[in-house]
Chain A
């Protein structure tokens, strides 16, 4: 079955950088890109148990006459065939719905959230809700396009981390890029994590596929992140906690995204790893 990747196109230099990351992702995962060129500054995404209104800033409506040709030119240059999708339906006259029937989605930090636009370093509430509600992983690109040469999975042993690891294994298989693991273990031993892998029947595949396991029992998490290669795609799972809970108790996802400049691929709590 075809793998599809959803991208909301922005006809600006920053939008180009983000689009190039989506194209790069599609090219290497052999996914077909579904491009949505917005005509309104908002659209709805109806998930299984949530409806998310994405409020775009005006930059997404920049020069609509050239948006399509710019997108085509960039896609052709990247060797990816572009597919443009219109809104599925309209909830209201100026409020289109966009399908959520995709396998991946690109979601810039600044898609709808003011705090992220002024670089406060938090993933905005809309992006967080998409991550929490979606069955697909969300690519949060870096501000500038850089080819990634390896995949780094953050594995903390939770069910979501196992999902992320499955995703990382899938990506490594399909892109033929080396896969690394990153574990901030604290007092737990490596045997504990291997046991978790065995429970999920992925221990052998991990052993065969993983190039290096960055295993830390000491040091601060944010300091150890220095070991993540600058040109790696970071893959991690998200618990799906709300903004307040994460601000109060902290979050690995927030820590990683605010420390690493790399593109992140986040598998939310509803991501179905078994579907791959």
Chain B
């Protein structure tokens, strides 16, 4: 008999069976710590890469550095790790939507390495999405190790995500909110507590190893009514920047897909282009946090033209890096582009209305960041809390809310979905808990098949059929070939109604004459949502399931509704 290792099955302990929150909190701390460590590891490797390559930046061939980095990153991901390019967040959302957060172990480190190669060499991308992927995969791996169920595993994926974001930005609240708003898409108490604890653990390990510092400390801003009014305009600018970046990234990716050359060649072409661009606009290289720091401090040297040029150049460089196969995320580029947008907008206002008492331009850079993050992610809370935590500028709360909310709304009008959700939604794979599509996706055809059906032979006389009907509660009778067992058609109660009072026909009509020999059928692999749609379109209450030309059973709306309610109860009862 196989020996059971109890410590591998903590969920079976009676202590945790009553309420598994304590179990999730305990394991969540471990996940948060590991995710925080992953964030610190990525941060350190980026610093190592940037410092190591710094003395080469002035050389004429330095534009090849991003090309080499992107190429190495692509080869590492494609050939060694055998993973696709991209930032990976849609993969995390997809696995949470469909498979209870099952992620591959290799994802816990693959994107850390590839993104440090891309960003460290000068590619225009951010380290946050890769670290989210890593944290989520760590959560999933630990959940699998302890044999946790789908719901518990999903929570731990959330813990990993929150720990990673909290670790990389030293922003635990943002970690929690990003996870709930973007990754899980639901606000349930059962998730919030362990995820919050994991975020704290991630932030704390980062503080222990890297110090408790604010990423972009500001000198304090005095906000007036004029600034609030001006922030309305900035919100619209940020929204259009979000739309531009979203479309630029997708367009660039579309172009790249059409070109049939190996991915590592594409990545190196994209990297070289970014390197060349970086010669003229150095702000586009790397994650770009140095520029943000300057802008928030109000010491950015360029004029309005330079700020606007850097804004467009950064959008182009990010599209090139990520669209052409580099590895990294859009968080950091969004912050850079947003701050350029805010700065350019402030300078434009100062130029157009010289006497207007506006707040320091650093405040607008900060608001621009929030606007861009909120717009592109369709996540206003993430935008607001991220900026509050990474700048500690709580005095800008009001314009921050205005910019985030308006930017989200305007962007939503043109781009209804978050950048992370767009592809999934187009493929019909964004299934949020408690939604119709998610409930139906979690029910398989096999679960709703009714097998207690009465099959009839095509040679059966109408009299025999009515005799059968009298003793049955069924409305549908599948017809099978008695010799081969092949499914031939179906007789519906409605089909025989006209014969009921015509007794002359009882001994002259056979079942094969009245059956529907070409009914709509269901196969095992069919999607239940499609089956339901067919039933609605054809006004059917039941459909036969056929496999290998054999009748297997019936799927009825009544059984489906029962199962639907059960599944909905399971999904929504997890809220508390």
Contacts and interface: CB of A to CB of B under 8 A. Distances in A.
Contacts of B102: 46, 49-51
Interface stretch (A61-69, A87-95, A147-155, A223-231): A87-95
Query: Which of the listed residues A49, A55, A81, A83 has the most CB atoms from chain B within 10 Å of its own CB?
Result: A49
Contacts of A49: 102, 144, 147
Contacts of B525: 85, 99
Interface in A93-114: 93-95, 99, 101
A46 B2 contact: no
Interface residues of A, number: 29
B275 to A, nearest CB: 26
B552 interface: yes
Given A2-B552, A32-B547, A53 B86 contact: no
A92 B82 contact: no
Contacts of B99: 46, 51
Nearest to A47: B102
A168 interface: no
Nearest to A40: B84
A160 interface: yes
Interface stretch (B56-64, B90-98, B113-121): B90-98
A216 interface: no
B310 to A, nearest CB: 31
A99 B257 CA distance: 27
Contacts of A93: 84, 86, 257
A4 B552 CA distance: 13
Contact of B548 (A2, A53, A89, A99): A2
Contact of A101 (B86, B144, B444, B552): B444
Query: Chain B interface mostly helix, strand, loop or mixed?
Result: loop
Interface in A163-220: none
Interface residues of B, number: 31
B1 A92 contact: no
Interface string B90-134: 110011001100111010000000000000000000000000000
A243 interface: no
A95 B548 contact: no
A158 interface: yes
B427 A89 contact: yes
A268 B540 CA distance: 42
Given A46-B99, A50-B144, A158 B2 contact: yes
B98 A83 contact: no
A160 B2 contact: yes
A1 interface: yes
B429 interface: yes
Nearest to B553: A1
Contacts of B86: 92-93
7 closest cross-chain pairs (CB), A and B = A92-B84, A51-B102, A32-B548, A2-B547, A46-B99, A55-B82, A94-B84
Interface of A: 1-2, 4, 32, 42, 44, 46, 49-51, 53, 55, 81, 83, 85, 89-95, 99, 101, 158-160, 239, 269
Interface of B: 1-2, 82-84, 86, 90-91, 94-95, 98-99, 102-104, 106, 144, 147, 257, 427, 429, 444, 446, 451, 524-525, 547-550, 552
